[in-house]
Structure 1
Amino acid sequence: MSDTCLVPITGIDSHAHVFSRELNLTAARRYTPGYDATLAQYLTHLHAHGLSHGVLVQPSFLGTDNSYLLTALRQAPERLRGVVVVEQDVSRVVLNDMARLGVVGVRLNLMGKALPDFRDAAWKDFFGHIAELDWHVELHRQLEDVPGLIRQLMPFGIKLVIDHFGRPDARLGIDQLGFPEMLELGLTGQIWMKVSGIYRLAGTPQQNLEFARTALPLLEQSFGLRRLVWGSDWPHTQHEGSIGFGTVVEQLQALECSTQLMRALLVDAPQALLGFAFGR
C-alpha cells in the first residue's frame, strides 16, 4: 500500500485495538468489553505521547469480523496499518482487498485454545497467500508452547511476530520453560518480538518490570535491533482499571533503553516490518 500523504514518523505503536461495545461479539470469547475504544481516542493518545503511527490488531472477542478495524484504516490510511483475524479458508480476493486498505499481517491468537497442527496440509494454501503478500503472522500463546509453534511455522518462509515477550511468567525468570529456546530461534532472523504487555507477565508490577529489564538485553542479542518492536496494547483489556497509555509509556522508559534501541523499537524496526513510508 502506498501513502498519498506521508506523515513524518516520530514513533510507531505496533500493537493497539479499536472496538465498540455495540459490535457483535464472538460466542467463544474470554472477555466482554463494557466500553468503546474508538479510533479518535487512540489517535489522541498517539499525539499526546509524540507518536505518529499505529498498528490496529483485531481483538479476539470480535472473531473474524474485521469490519470495524478496516473502517478505521480507511479513516487514517497514512498513519495506520492493520493485523486481522481470518478463517483458514479465506479467499485470496478478500486478502487482496484487505492489503489495499493497509493490512500487513494476520493474528493467530491461540490463548485458551487447542493447539493447531500447522503441518496439516490445509494450512499450506493459507500460509502461501501470506508469504506472497509479504504479510507477517502474529503469534499469541503462552511461552511454553511458542518454540514448538515457531518450528512448525518457519518452513513456510513467512515473517513471524511473537506477542508480548512470548507471554512468559515473570515470577519464573529467564530460565523458564520455553524462554531459552525462543532466544535460540530468534537467531534465525525470521522472527520479530513485540516488547509489549509488560503488565500481562503474571507477576507483581515490580516483578514484571524486572523481568522485562532482564530479558530485553537478551532479546536484543538474539533477535537483533531490527526485529524488536514496541506496542502499547491500548486499551489494555482486562487491565483497564490499573493501566493506561501513560502507564505503558512509563514502563518503556523504565526499561532504560539506549538511544539506539529506543530508535529501533519505535521507528526503524516497525517501519521495516509494517511497511510505513517515511514522510518528508
Structure 2
Amino acid sequence: MTKVCLPAFPLNEYESVSLQIPQLACDSHVHVFGPFAKYPLADDRSYTPATEFLPAQFIAHLDQLGLTRGVVVTASVCGTNNGSTLDALLAYPDRLRGVVVPDPNITDEELDQMHALGVRGVRVNLLQVGGHAMYRNGIGLETLEALAPRMRSRGWHAQIWIYAPDLPRLMPRLAALQLPLIVDHMGRMETARGITDPGFVFLCDLIKTGEAYCKISGVDRIGTASKGFVDALPFMQALVDANPKQLVWGTDWPHINYFEQQKLPNDGRLLNLLGEVLNTPELLQQVLVDTPAVLYDF
C-alpha cells in the first residue's frame, strides 16, 4: 500500500505573480491523472495521487499563472499507460504537447498516433539513490536505446530523469542515441553539494556546449521549504549562465509525492523564483517561449 499524496495548492491560494509573462509562455513539466476508472494507476507504484487531476484542471492552472502552453509528462505511477496524457493532448491540441513512457513493444502505428496528437518525447527513469531506483516503474536506458531509431525518424527527444553525478558515467551511452537530450529538474542535485559538484559542473558544461537541454524546474525538490527554496537559486543561475538557449522551465504541477503541508510548493511562488534568474524580458522569452516552441514543436 502506498502513501496518499497531499492535494495540489488551490488556484485561489497561488502567490500573486510579479513577472511580466510573455505571450505563449509554456509550463514544460506537469502530470495529469485519470479518470481512474478509465486509466487506473499501476498496481506497483511509489505513491498515490490525492485525487484525479484532469486536463481541464491543468488548463485552469495555466490560466491562473498567465501561461498559454503546457507539456504533459506521463508519471511513473501510470506505468506505460499513457492514456491520461494522450487524452489531454486530444482535448487541447493547440495548447499542449506530451512526453510519454511507451511500452517496449510499442508499434510504429501507435507511435504515429501519439505523434499526431502532439507527443514529442520519451521519458526514461534513471534516477537512483544508493544504487537503487528512486521511483518504481518507468523505462530504462536499454528500452530507450531500442526505441532511439524510431524516435529519431519522428524528431522526438529523450527526457532523462537522472541524478547529475551519474551523468559522466552514462553520457557515452546517452550521446550514442543521437537524440536531443533533456535533463529533468536540474539533475536532482542536493543543494548541500554546491554548484561546484563535479556532476553538476558536467551538466552545466553539457548545457554550455549545446549537447543537452535542462529543465530549470524542481527548486522544491532540491531546495529547502523553510528557506522559500532560495538555496536552489544558485543552481538555476549557474545553468542560465551556462546557456539560456538550452533551458526550459515547468512547475511540476500537481506536485505529487508530497506528504507534509509545509513542504508543498506554491506555483505562484515557483514562477516568482524563476524571475530571480530570468531577470530580463529577453531571458523570459527564451526560456518560457522560444526554446519550448522548438523542443515541443508548438
The aligned residue for residue 230 of structure 1 is: 249
The aligned residue for residue 89 of structure 2 is: 73
The aligned residue for residue 197 of structure 2 is: 176
Deviation of the 1:216 alpha carbon: 2.9
Choose the corresponding residue for 1:265, options 267, 287, 290.
Answer: 287
TM-score by length of 1: 0.86
**Structure 1 stretch 33-42 or stretch 162-171: which is displaced more?**
33-42
Choose the corresponding residue for 1:44, options 47, 51, 60.
Answer: 60
In structure 1, C-alpha distance between the alignment counterparts of 2:167 and 2:255, rounded to whole Å: 22
Deviation of the 1:170 alpha carbon: 1.0
**Structure 1 stretch 185-194 or stretch 36-45: which is displaced more?**
185-194
Choose the corresponding residue for 1:189, options 202, 210, 216.
Answer: 210
Deviation of the 1:177 alpha carbon: 4.2
The aligned residue for residue 17 of structure 1 is: 31
In structure 2, C-alpha distance between the alignment counterparts of 1:28 and 1:137, rounded to whole Å: 24
**Structure 1 stretch 233-242 or stretch 132-141: which is displaced more?**
233-242
Letter in 1 for 2:203: M
Task: Give the 3 Å change call, closer, same or farther, for CA 245–157 of structure 1 in structure 2.
Answer: same
Instruction: Report if the CA contact (8 A) 1:21-1:34 is conserved.
Output: no
**Structure 1 stretch 92-101 or stretch 26-35: which is displaced more?**
26-35
Letter in 1 for 2:285: R
TM-score by length of 2: 0.81
Instruction: Report if the CA contact (8 A) 1:235-1:245 is conserved.
Output: no
Choose the corresponding residue for 2:76, options 56, 60, 63.
Answer: 60
Flag structure 1 segments of 5+ consecutive residues without an equivalent. 1-7
Aligned-residue identity in percent: 33
Deviation of the 1:220 alpha carbon: 2.5
Deviation of the 1:248 alpha carbon: 1.8
Instruction: Report if the CA contact (8 A) 1:170-1:207 is conserved.
Output: no
Q: Which has the higher contact order (CA 8 A, sep 6+)?
A: 2
In structure 2, C-alpha distance between the alignment counterparts of 1:28 and 1:110, rounded to whole Å: 18
Note the 1:100-115 alignment, pairs <5 A: 100-112=116-128
The aligned residue for residue 251 of structure 1 is: 273
Secondary structure of residue in 2 paired with 1:156: coil
In structure 2, C-alpha distance between the alignment counterparts of 1:237 and 1:123, rounded to whole Å: 25
Task: Give the 3 Å change call, closer, same or farther, for CA 151–50 of structure 1 in structure 2.
Answer: same
Choose the corresponding residue for 1:239, options 248, 258, 264.
Answer: 258
Instruction: Report if the CA contact (8 A) 2:224-2:230 is conserved.
Output: no
1:165 paired to 2:182: no
The aligned residue for residue 26 of structure 1 is: 42
Secondary structure of residue in 2 paired with 1:55: strand
Alignment RMSD (CA, Å): 2.4
Instruction: Report if the CA contact (8 A) 2:223-2:231 is conserved.
Output: no
The aligned residue for residue 5 of structure 1 is: none
Deviation of the 1:49 alpha carbon: 1.5
1:138 paired to 2:173: no
In structure 2, C-alpha distance between the alignment counterparts of 1:164 and 1:123, rounded to whole Å: 19
Could you list the per-position Cα deviations for residues 19-44 of structure 1 after superposition, in whole angstroms to 9, with x for gaps in the alignment? 13724222332111121211111111
In structure 2, C-alpha distance between the alignment counterparts of 1:56 and 1:39, rounded to whole Å: 9
